[in-house]
Amino acid sequence: MKNTPFSIIIYTFLIIFGLIMIIPFLWMINTALKDQVEINDGNIGFNWKNKFTYIEEDGKKLGIGRALEVGDSVLVSTYTIDGQLILHPKNIHTEIAYDLDYKYRTDNGTIENRTKRVVLSDEAKLQYIMVHKDDIVEGSYIKPYFDNFAKAWNKVPFALYFKNTIFVALMTLIGVLFTSSLAAYAFARMNFYGKDFLFYLLISMMMVPQPIYLIPSYIVLSQFGLVDTYFALIVPWVANIFTIFLFRQQFKTIPQELFDAAAIDGCSMFGTLWRIVLPLSRPVIATASIFSVIGSWNSFMWPLIMTDSKDLRVLQVGISYFSQDSGTETALLMAASTFSILPLVFLFFLAQKQIIASTAKSGLK
């Protein structure tokens, strides 16, 4: 691998593929920061251009909104770059007037051109100024349009969706850690009748795809009136066969001497689990927790089917409805997508080593 031409080819490939992998994310963020008006005008490129028609006054650019054109003059209102209206109090002492040409239909049906002098009221003078049309510049300015995030956040109750998702993910996590550590402890360290049978039953059930038990689960839950409750979102997922399997493997690696020592010290079975086994298994617990949270956060089909009321919507379901309702508001959709994935991306960067290492391990026999 020391020869340079070969390395250059490898890096070229990797960079191209790397770009393909991350461009959708960059484009998502880019679109989230664009002005929807620009997008509708066909500007979808990687820029944060905002259309800006302005005049210069004392070296400052003032955005304008055209009100009326009279000959070479244009009556305009002025704005700051943030869209705040600029008032012109000094206009009060000057007269702003223009001659308005209009067609007048006389009583006998003929049409004649007339001119009328229009004088701006004090109130209008505060808002409008008269400029020469050549002074108006059609330009643009570059500024990320952060408003999209706030707009998307407020358009549908995303705060509620986040709250629901976090609640479901946390409750599921607590449940999974509780049931798995107990069950794995029994499978790893105790002998009981039917142990092997039960264990293989679990493993074989792990292979059953979700669509098989989806409909019967729905029927069972609805018989007990539990559809559309937090119960339906959480409880079916508080036992995770894969986590039991993972914990069992870990618990088996703990040397027998530690258990013997604990037994001599009078430590109960549960005490041994709590004081010795679990503290020694922290890395595995962390891994299982991370994957449990990722699983809950991203799960879609189950909550889509099991809940109906808006109050119970989790993030994925909420954002999917948002996408159906506001399909044309690309910028808002991308802003919503961005904040929906942000927590997990953050978690990923925080625990990158652990996530990648345990993914890598899953493929090794």
Partner 1 sequence: MKKNKLSPYLYILPAMIIIIAFRFVPIVLSFIISFFDWKLTGVDKFVGLANYAKLFTDQEFIQSMINTVWFVILVVPATIIFSLLFAVLLNNIKWLRGFFRTAYFLPYVTSMVAVSIVWKIIFQQRSGLLNYFLEGIGLEPLGWLNEPTGIFTMLFNNFGITLPDWMGGPSLALFSIMIVTVWKSIGYNTIIYLAGLQNIAKEYYEASAIDGASKRKQFFGITLPLISPTTYYVLMMTTIVTFQSFSQIYLMTGNPAGGPQGTTSLIVYYIYEAGFINLDFSYANAIALVLFVVILLLTLIQKRLEKHVTYE
Nearer to partner 1, 136 or 226 (CB): 226
Shortest Cβ distance from residue 141 to partner 1 (Å)? 22
Q: Does 127 bind partner 1 (CB under 8 A)?
A: no
Nearer to partner 1, 159 or 201 (CB): 201
Q: Does 213 bind partner 1 (CB under 8 A)?
A: yes
Q: Does 286 bind partner 1 (CB under 8 A)?
A: no
Nearer to partner 1, 97 or 301 (CB): 301
Shortest Cβ distance from residue 277 to partner 1 (Å)? 12
Report whether 87 contacts 127 (CB < 8 A). yes
* φ, ψ at 286 (rounded to 5°): -60, -45
* CB neighbour class for 345 (10 Å; exposed up to 12, middle 13-18, buried from 19): exposed
User: What residues numbered 7-66 form the site for partner 1, per CB under 8 A?
Assistant: 7, 10-11, 13-14, 17-18, 20-25, 27-28, 31, 39, 42, 44-45
Shortest Cβ distance from residue 365 to partner 1 (Å)? 6
User: What residues numbered 329-348 form the site for partner 1, per CB under 8 A?
Assistant: 330, 333-334, 337, 340-341, 344-345, 347-348
User: What residues numbered 231-270 form the site for partner 1, per CB under 8 A?
Assistant: 235-236, 238-239, 241, 244, 269
Nearer to partner 1, 124 or 294 (CB): 294
Nearer to partner 1, 102 or 349 (CB): 349
User: Given candidates 220, 258, 261, 350, which one binds partner 1 under the rule CB under 8 A?
Assistant: 220
Stretch that binds partner 1, among 57-65, 133-141, 150-158, 354-362 (CB under 8 A): 354-362
Nearer to partner 1, 104 or 178 (CB): 178
Q: Does 171 bind partner 1 (CB under 8 A)?
A: no
Pattern 189-208, partner 1, x by CB under 8 A: xxxx--x--x--xx--x-xx
* φ, ψ at 54 (rounded to 5°): -145, 165
Shortest Cβ distance from residue 279 to partner 1 (Å)? 18
Shortest Cβ distance from residue 65 to partner 1 (Å)? 26
Shortest Cβ distance from residue 305 to partner 1 (Å)? 6
Nearer to partner 1, 76 or 314 (CB): 314
* Of 150, 151, 160, 171, the residue nearest 315 (C-alpha): 160
Q: Does 305 bind partner 1 (CB under 8 A)?
A: yes
Distance in angstroms (rounded) separating the CA atoms of residues 20 and 36? 25
Task: Take residue 239 and report the two structure tokens written for it.
Answer: 């036992």
Stretch that binds partner 1, among 84-92, 124-132, 276-284, 353-361 (CB under 8 A): 353-361
Nearer to partner 1, 127 or 164 (CB): 164
Nearer to partner 1, 108 or 362 (CB): 362
